[in-house]
């Protein structure tokens, strides 16, 4: 009996998060037993250079010694107290130091909780019910946010999720990304009823699709003119694309609320919502919007997050950016050499690849700019590419609709191993 057979006998589908399954590429998922720096090791003892990075948290690479030491030290002092701790303040202060608009910070355990709570706060603050989200953006799996929610559901070819009451889904207006006319039209169709627009600061859950220049600023301006809030979901981009996330990298817009996750937990479950003090004071016990968590601000988890943010200095971002540039360009060149059409999709150091060309796929830019355009890509080229890379010891996300995650631990040897694997993978994609 394989580990996957055992898992499938006790866990639905054999995985505890659908993106870990190999439905999008075929085969059984790797079962990992350890990870260090840029590498992971599976249950058969085989080592891979990793470009999944725990789906984002591993900015410094896996098991950074100083982060592990901070976790061990915190764990030795106690695992959970159910009372305020100094470590929570430290993490909240580190977040605010980097992202000035995060005036107040509430720590939670998952990105799903962060966005779900941000919507509740926005509704409580504005007294309105409706939310605008963009097709292809993933904000976690709360009921109202699962419509056209990008990678996980796209890989499984699901339009949304069963089990979401129609009345909940009806509170979410889903419109096309990078389409300002659609934002204006939604506000015009529902005057005085929209509480907030939520957007991935730069979309990275339908592959990477950066916002058009000025898009975030214009959406924020429209929302504010209509008395609605602008929520920037930086769960994935926050503290990854730069020291102050996409907000810091792009500049020029002011969110009322932001959500963070992934990097701020350094590999343990920490996420946050943050933003304007008057809006954040809606949260209980300061205000009437309820939210709580037995393990919120868990002392071991915040120690990992604070250690990670303290270590994530300019040198870390420079290394991640440089490795991302090298890998993205090498993939493009390898595919070009085999005559495989591809668009390299970038948002800072995040990148993914959309197979196809504007002519073949009807893209409005050099690559896809919307979810419909993403879905028109030649995703069937990805499984053979993925498996050729895996055979050569490179662990990629098992879906054509995911970003690749580089870390500061991707040294020359790790990058060389990726580059060496590319020609055969490109040939597989061409076939
Ligand atoms: N928001 C974004 C932009 C994400 O990428 C994710 C997870 O991938 C989430 C929210 C949900 O976070 P979590 O998986 O911690 O619930």
Atom of ligand 1 nearest to the CA of 205: 5
Structurally, at CATH architecture level, domain 65-311 sits in: 3-Layer(aba) Sandwich (3.40)
Detail the DSSP E strand segments found in 125-246. 130-134, 172-175, 194-200, 229-233
Average pLDDT, rounded, for the chain: 96
Q: pLDDT tens-digit profile of 394-413?
A: 999 999 999 999 999 999 99
**pLDDT value at position 167?**
86
**Beta carbon of 261 within 6 Å of any ligand 1 atom:** yes
**CA-closest residue to ligand 1 atom 13:** 111
What is 3-59+313-430's CATH number?
3.90.1150.10
Detail the DSSP E strand segments found in 291-383. 342-347, 350-355
- ipTM of the complex model: 0.99
**pLDDT value at position 213?**
97
- Tokens 């609709």 map to which residue? 401
- pLDDT of 318 strictly over 90: yes
Tell me which of 19, 117, 138 to substitute to probe ligand 1's pocket, judged by most ligand atoms within 8 Å of the beta carbon. Answer: 138
- pLDDT of 298 strictly over 70: yes
Atom of ligand 1 nearest to the CA of 109: 15
- Judged by average pLDDT, the poorest of 24-28, 147-151, 309-313, 382-386 is 147-151
Q: What is the distance between the alpha carbons of residues 276 and 95, in angstroms, rounded to a whole number?
A: 14
Q: pLDDT tens-digit profile of 156-210?
A: 555 578 888 888 888 999 999 999 999 999 999 999 999 999 999 999 999 999 9
Q: What is the distance in angstroms between the CA of the first residue and the CA of the last residue of the chain?
A: 33
What is the CA(155)–ligand 1 centre distance, in A? Answer: 16
Atom of ligand 1 nearest to the CA of 111: 12
Task: Tell me whether the CATH fold assigned to 3-59+313-430 matches the one assigned to 65-311.
Answer: no
- Judged by average pLDDT, the poorest of 2-6, 164-168, 228-232, 329-333 is 164-168
Contact 62, 50 (CB under 8 A): yes
The residue extents of the domains of the chain are 3-59+313-430, 65-311
Tell me which of 16, 261, 270 to substitute to probe ligand 1's pocket, judged by most ligand atoms within 8 Å of the beta carbon. Answer: 261
- Residues 118-134 have a mean pLDDT of 97
Q: pLDDT tens-digit profile of 44-83?
A: 999 999 999 999 999 999 999 999 999 999 999 999 999 9
- Residues 206-232 have a mean pLDDT of 98
**Beta carbon of 271 within 6 Å of any ligand 1 atom:** yes
**Percent above pLDDT 70 for the chain:** 98
**Beta carbon of 140 within 6 Å of any ligand 1 atom:** yes
What is the CA(373)–ligand 1 centre distance, in A? Answer: 22
Does this model's pTM top 0.95? My answer is yes
**CA-closest residue to ligand 1 atom 7:** 140
């Amino acid at each position: 009996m394989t580990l996957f057979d055992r898992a499938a006998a006790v866990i639905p589908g054999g995985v505890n998060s659908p993106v870990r399954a190999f439905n999008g590429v075929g085969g059984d998922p790797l079962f990992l037993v350890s990870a260090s720096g840029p590498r992971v090791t599976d249950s058969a003892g085989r080592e891979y250079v990793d470009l999944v990075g725990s789906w984002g948290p591993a900015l410094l690479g896996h098991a950074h010694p100083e982060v592990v030491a901070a976790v061990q030290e915190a764990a030795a002092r106690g695992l959970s107290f159910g009372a305020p701790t100094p470590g929570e303040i430290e993490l909240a202060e580190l977040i605010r130091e980097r992202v000035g608009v995060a005036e107040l910070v509430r720590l939670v355990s998952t990105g799903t909780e962060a966005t779900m709570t941000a919507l509740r706060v926005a509704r409580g603050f504005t007294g309105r019910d409706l939310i605008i989200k963009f097709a292809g953006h993933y904000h976690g799996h709360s009921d109202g946010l699962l419509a056209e929610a990008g990678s996980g559901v796209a890989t499984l070819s699901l339009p949304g999720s069963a089990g979401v009451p129609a009345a909940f889904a009806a509170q979410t207006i889903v419109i096309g990304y990078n389409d300002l006319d659609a934002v204006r039209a939604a506000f015009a169709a529902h005057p005085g009823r929209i509480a907030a627009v939520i957007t991935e600061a730069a979309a990275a859950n339908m592959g990477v699709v950066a916002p058009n220049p000025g898009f975030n600023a214009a959406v924020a301006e429209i929302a504010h003119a209509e008395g609605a809030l602008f929520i920037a979901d930086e769960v994935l981009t926050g503290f990854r694309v730069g020291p102050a996330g996409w907000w810091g990298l792009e500049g020029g817009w002011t969110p009322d609320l932001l959500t963070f996750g992934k990097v701020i937990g350094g590999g343990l479950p920490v996420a946050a919502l943050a933003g304007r003090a008057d809006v954040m004071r809606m949260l209980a016990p300061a205000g009437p919007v309820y939210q709580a968590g037995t393990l919120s601000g868990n002392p071991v988890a915040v120690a990992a997050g604070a250690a990670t943010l303290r270590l994530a200095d300019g040198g870390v971002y420079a290394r991640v950016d440089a490795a991302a540039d090298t890998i993205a360009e090498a993939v493009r060149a390898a595919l070009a050499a085999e005559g495989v059409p591809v668009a390299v999709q970038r948002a800072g150091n995040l990148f993914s690849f959309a197979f196809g060309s504007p002519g073949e796929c009807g893209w409005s830019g050099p690559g896809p700019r919307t979810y419909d355009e993403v879905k028109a890509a030649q995703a069937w080229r990805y499984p053979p590419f993925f498996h050729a890379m895996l055979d050569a010891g490179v662990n990629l996300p098992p879906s054509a609709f995911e970003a690749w995650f580089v870390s500061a631990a991707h040294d020359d040897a790790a990058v060389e191993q990726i580059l060496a694997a590319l020609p055969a993978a490109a040939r597989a994609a061409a076939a």
